[in-house]
Structure formats: structure tokens, C-alpha cells
Amino acid sequence: MSERFFLYDETENTKTRYISFMGEHQRFDLALMQTDRYYGKRIVLDIQGSRFAIIGRDDLEEPGYLEHAFRLTEEEAEELRSFLYEVI
């Protein structure tokens, strides 16, 4: 077996906030991870949908970003976007 080549192997403390809320179209169960990586953006995990994305305020303004990342309809994505504007 050849020697493993690591690009990086680091450990970092993170702050994780778990949030569950019911929108008009869907329930959201999220984990928001705050870390020093990713230039101040948050790692947003959709626990029920097994999807995640690295999101900053600029990403919230990108058309179709949340719809694609979390496989949401426009209405569902707008509910999530509205919430994330409050916490990111």
C-alpha cells in the first residue's frame, strides 16, 4: 500500500447552533456551524434532508443557490433565506 498524501489534517473548535422551525411549506431542522475557515461563512446542515452548504450573506443573494444546494422549491427557499438573513 502506498503512503497516504494529506492535503491537510487539522482540528478546530467550532460553535454549533441547532435550530428547528416550521415554515409555511416545510419543517427545517438545521445545524449552523461557525468556524474560522471559509472566510466567515457558516456551514449550514439540513439534518432531515442530508444536505449542506457553506453560506455567507453573499450566497443568500445569489439566485437559485439555496434551491439548488438544499433541493427546495422557490417558496421553501424563500422561507429558509428569510431565516438565514437573521442569523448569518
57 within domain boundaries: yes
Structurally, the chain folds into a number of domains equal to 1
Q: Which domain holds residue 36?
A: 15-87
Contacts of 45 (CB under 8 A, 6+ apart): 30, 31, 32, 33, 51, 52
5 within domain boundaries: no
21 within domain boundaries: yes
Q: Write out pLDDT tens, residues 34-84.
A: 998 898 899 999 999 999 999 999 999 999 999 999 999 999 999 999 999
3 within domain boundaries: no
Q: Write out pLDDT tens, residues 50-61.
A: 999 999 999 999
Q: In angstroms, rounded to a whole number, what is the distance separating the alpha carbons of residues 34 and 40?
A: 8
31 within domain boundaries: yes
Enter the pTM of the model. 0.88
Q: In angstroms, rounded to a whole number, what is the distance separating the alpha carbons of residues 52 and 19?
A: 14
78 within domain boundaries: yes
45 within domain boundaries: yes
10 within domain boundaries: no
